[in-house]
Amino acid sequence: MGKALDYQQILDQLYNEIAVLDDPGELASYIPELSKVSTDKFGVSLISLNGEIYGAGDYQERFSIQSISKLYSLSLAYNICGEDLWSRVDVEPSGTSFNSLLQLEAENGIPRNPFLNSGALVICDVLLSKLDNPKQEMLDLLNQGVGSSDITFDTAVANSEKSVGWRNIALCNYIKSYGNIDNHPDDVLDLYFHLCAISMSCRELAQASLYLANNGIIPETQQRVNTISQTKRLNAIMQTCGFYDESGEFSFRVGLPGKSGVGGGIIAVFPTQYAIAVWSPRLNEKGNSFKGMNLLEQLTTITEASIF
């Protein structure tokens, strides 16, 4: 299944076709620091389970992974808490946009899923309660996955988000009002803004995500991040909730579990096969990378390979 495919050729072809497309998307403008990124950046990297690395365009350039970090913080919290985690956050798609407060009100402060901002804030609260140094442990997880040591936070981006992060401050205090945040909102938000401000390249993202295609084990180090069952469930949550209120559309068009970020990055995973990361900062109206979505859809269409 897909093994004989020449992924490098496919990536090159798709990159060339899509790079020149008229892109109707717009840069995320609400975070001042993010709006400085060059809008024509475009890169993609696919890494197979047997270690082959493919890439095209700006796939070695780091960018702000933003909400993609919600995937790794969830991995960490799930590993620590096991199934107890789900008393704090649900696993249902929300059907609403990423920073909505609507459902929180109807559901007493239990976020619909850990990939909404609300859910990720609860995950940050869990990490703060369970770990001595959650920031460092997150960086360690990513650096181990990549085999590097210099993946870190872009403090300018973290501060930029904090300076305009009224909606997230509102969300965190709102959940606190329902008793589903244990730590002080300021501390939770500080961790949240830092995790969003991690910088990685497409190649690094794909590499750091390979454990999700490999039953929870980092291929290179053979370190286990999550159990088999946890890993399948993480992929399932990505499948149903990874793209806010475009999750159904992504599942429909691409057919792989994935997670997007407002910096224009998307990570997708083909269990037993590969992880792939794309980056292009212009976002469609749902907040997902226009070119990134496009490339992934065409990739699974051409290869006729998806989880379905």
What residues make contact with a copy of itself under the rule CB under 8 A? 90-96, 100-103, 105, 112-113, 166-167, 169-174, 176-177, 185, 228-229, 231-233, 235-237, 239-241, 245-249, 251-253, 255, 257, 271, 301, 304, 306-308
Sequence-ordered list of residues with C-beta below 8 angstroms from that of 252, at least 6 positions apart, any chain: none
CB of 199 to a copy of itself, least distance (A): 25
Q: If we measure between CA atoms, which residue out of 134, 132, 119, 67 comes closest to residue 88? A: 119
CB of 30 to a copy of itself, least distance (A): 9
The residue (of 109 and 219) whose beta carbon lies closer to a copy of itself is 109
Please work out, in degrees rounded to the nearest 5, the angle formed at the alpha carbon of residue 71 by the alpha carbons of 23 and 55. 50
The residue (of 206 and 234) whose beta carbon lies closer to a copy of itself is 234
Cα atoms found within 13 Å of the Cα of residue 229, Cβ hemisphere only: 4
Cα atoms found within 13 Å of the Cα of residue 105, Cβ hemisphere only: 5
CB of 142 to a copy of itself, least distance (A): 22
The residue (of 95 and 147) whose beta carbon lies closer to a copy of itself is 95
The residue (of 57 and 185) whose beta carbon lies closer to a copy of itself is 185
Residues in the chain: 308
The residue (of 201 and 300) whose beta carbon lies closer to a copy of itself is 300
Sequence-ordered list of residues with C-beta below 8 angstroms from that of 265, at least 6 positions apart, any chain: 63, 64, 65, 66, 68, 202, 205, 277, 278, 279, 289, 292
CB of 72 to a copy of itself, least distance (A): 17
The residue (of 14 and 139) whose beta carbon lies closer to a copy of itself is 14
d(CA 165, CA 171): 10
CB of 271 to a copy of itself, least distance (A): 5
CB of 307 to a copy of itself, least distance (A): 4
CB of 136 to a copy of itself, least distance (A): 28
Residue 96 contacts residue 52 (beta carbons within 8 Å): no
Residue 289 contacts residue 66 (beta carbons within 8 Å): no
The residue (of 51 and 95) whose beta carbon lies closer to a copy of itself is 95
Q: Tell whether the torsion through CA atoms of 76, 79, 84 and 89 is positive or negative.
A: positive
